[in-house]
Amino acid sequence: MNTIRKCSFMLLALLFCYLSSWGQSSGPYYLSFKKEIVYGGAGAATTLLGNYLRSKTPDLMRSDLELEGINFIDRVATNFSSEKADRLSDKTLLASAGLPLLLLAGRDTRNDFGKIAILFTETMLLNQGLTDIIKSTSLRPRPYVFDENLPPSTILRSNDRASFLSGHTSGSAAASFFFARVFSDYYPDSKLRPYVWGLAIGMPAITGYLRVRGGQHYPTDVVAGYLLGASIGYFIPVLHRKPSQKSKLSWSPTGNGLYLNYRF
């Protein structure tokens, strides 16, 4: 994860260098240097803060484990610890993160991909930072630590109390919803839109299910991660939309003259 963060910071810095000299194309999004400093800076700041808090998270102690404190909805997750599901969730997260690359297939999005890359970097940085901050403040033990078959010699670490919320699910949702929102903004009349949104909704849901089956998270962790990631992935592009250029004044001829309409 540290490597991903370093790459994200490098990409963000590189894109900011080009941003000031780029002209704005005819796409649906408009970037400004000041605005991107705010969004990008917020993403970088939360990521740094989250990473710092995670590094200060104390190790999990056996005395911290209280199964009675797990609500009845989440308790089902304590029965799961599938390594196969855990590994598969890594792959679905990676697949979700790669979805925006499909935008290179379209001419309009390919021509605007530098701009899209900036928005995607902001999205993923902000999502990662907020996810880490929440994990570090909730300190919730992961479900697998309650497994009766867990060897007594198992050494519990700080990451074993990072259950809430699901970072895999939030990351998958952020990338998937970003992809669907951007696709819809560039190609509003495309017949592929229902399939794109279906993919965007389904990928983080599958990832979340696998995280529960893998004993890594409780159902509520997954729901919270889904909502966080989907919100960030959806609204970062929305906040960069160009203002409507449609004229407020419209007119049309009638049989006896001219009809004027002004939209407030």
| The predicted structure's pLDDT at residue 156 | 80
User: pLDDT digit of tens for each residue in the chain (264 aa)?
Assistant: 454 555 555 555 555 555 544 555 578 998 888 888 888 888 888 988 998 998 898 887 666 677 767 888 999 999 898 999 999 999 999 999 999 999 999 999 999 998 899 899 999 999 999 999 999 999 999 998 887 776 666 778 888 889 999 999 999 999 999 999 999 999 999 999 999 999 999 999 999 999 999 999 999 999 999 999 999 999 999 999 987 645 444 555 555 555 555 454
| The predicted structure's pLDDT at residue 29 | 92
SS3 assignment for the chain: CHHHHHHHHHHHHHHHHHHCCCCCCCCCECCCHHHHHHHHHHHHHHHHHHHHHHHCCCCCCHHHCCHHHCCCCHHHHHHCCCHHHHHHHHHHHHHHHCHHHHHHHCHHHHHCHHHHHHHHHHHHHHHHHHHHHHHHHHCCCCHHHHCCCCCCCCCCCHHHHCCCCCHHHHHHHHHHHHHHHHHHHHCCCCCCHHHHHHHHHHHHHHHHHHHHHCCCCCHHHHHHHHHHHHHHHHHHHHHCECCCCCCCEEEEEECCEEEEEECC
| The predicted structure's pLDDT at residue 3 | 43
| The predicted structure's pLDDT at residue 5 | 55
| The predicted structure's pLDDT at residue 127 | 95
